[in-house]
Chain A
Amino acid sequence: MADTYPDVTADTGTDLDTGTITMRVTRYRPEDGELEPTTQDYQIPLRKDWAVLDGLNHIKDHIDATLSYRWSCRMGICGSCGMLVNGEPKLTCEAFLTDYAPGPVRVEPLANFPVIRDLVVEIGSFMRKLPQVKPWIIDEAPPPAGEHRQTPAQVAEYQQYSMCINCMLCYSACPIVGLDEHFLGPAAIALAQRYNLDSRDQGVLDRLEVLSTDEGIWGCTFVGECTTACPKHVDPAGAIQRYKLSAATESLKAFVLPKSRRARATNGPAPAKEGDTP
């Protein structure tokens, strides 16, 4: 059958002088009785506009169709293509092959998750942690009739933490996640902060129960690698430290203030300013 689409790999117009690069890819095929992962080298064309994911797609389409990996959007928004590239957690659709030239470029599954096959990891632990932090707006009061408006300042308060794409690069980067599988982890805590800092939310104290524990914020020792790894500049490490500060203030307040005065954690949203009408 004739190819309907032009074969992009045959187009040598953008090939760099170097020509090819080796991808050293982790393989794990339990269905074939393999007990441990192995690596396999593939020679692929080195093109200026190719990301590691394009290299994997080239392998899958032209060299070895048995390779398994996850991807979807190719534009850094779905969060499914996270892998270790030369040992660093990366979105493979954003990591350009030329940055790893002359190679070989090592591609491994994300660390701190069990491997199902090749580059595909099992993410159940993460999926079970996320809902524990109650990532939704908690408010006893009935919702307003129209929109629930916010000032730009109120939105700016939590916007950074709402940019998370659940790519789990931060879980792969965090040694605490590797050492303690029950640690809630960077993205989940940043997500809790996203709701805590939302002016429409009243759930700070609800979340504090789950988060102010050894497996929540106090498990974090501020290694800071989650923030380095995050492709969306969420700064989960910062979120956790802010949380620690407000949790500490909160328990201090609980100690010295009567119950009625214990409102929002200290890092709560800025009050709307005058003339700042929604």
Chain B
Amino acid sequence: MTVKDAPGGYTDFHPRWYRRPMPVFWWVRRRSYLAFVARELSSVFVAWFVAFLLLLIRAVGQGEAAYQRYLDWAANPFIIAVNVVALGFVVFHAITWFNLAPQAMVVRMRGQRVPPSMIAGGNYLAWLVASAIVIWIVLA
């Protein structure tokens, strides 16, 4: 059989390319792909925390009774479960984010490039300080 007689319309000048479809579950094939999808998903939980805090602020603004209702609602086991899951995702989000920061940031001090470990370290330090301040405010 010559090239041109072959089924499928193959010619010398228009070879029939094979395009591999992207499998639906491409993201479970590799740990880094899974981590990436989880990081993308974690933004939903970041948004949830923002909404949760906005509701708190609104309740505080509406006075004592509304605040108490908010607290009762937040103590509901379902909401607690959601918050625990959300905390896990937000911590994952923060840690992967901080670890990626040195790749995105080039910081110079006196003409020298600051080593990547220091950039990541700086981020973690800022996180610790911010957390300490929050804890201090809450406990004080």
Contact = CB atoms under 8 A, between A and B. Distances in A.
Contacts of A179: 22
B111 A270 contact: yes
Contacts of B19: 114-115
A87 B23 CA distance: 14
Size bracket of the A interface: 35 or more
B65 interface: no
A32 B6 contact: yes
Contacts, number: 78
Interface in B84-140: 100, 103-106, 108, 111
Given A115-B19, A225-B32, A270-B108, 15 more contacts: A30-B18, A31-B3, A31-B6, A87-B29, A153-B111, A221-B40, A222-B100, A223-B36, A224-B36, A224-B103, A237-B103, A241-B104, A244-B104, A245-B104, A245-B105
A114 B26 CA distance: 17
Contact of A116 (B3, B8, B15, B30): B15
Interface of A: 28, 30-33, 35-37, 87, 111, 114-117, 122, 153, 175, 178-179, 221-225, 227-228, 235, 237-238, 241-242, 244-245, 267, 270, 273
A115 B18 contact: yes
A229 to B, nearest CB: 10
A171 to B, nearest CB: 13
Given A30-B15, A222-B36, A241 B111 contact: no
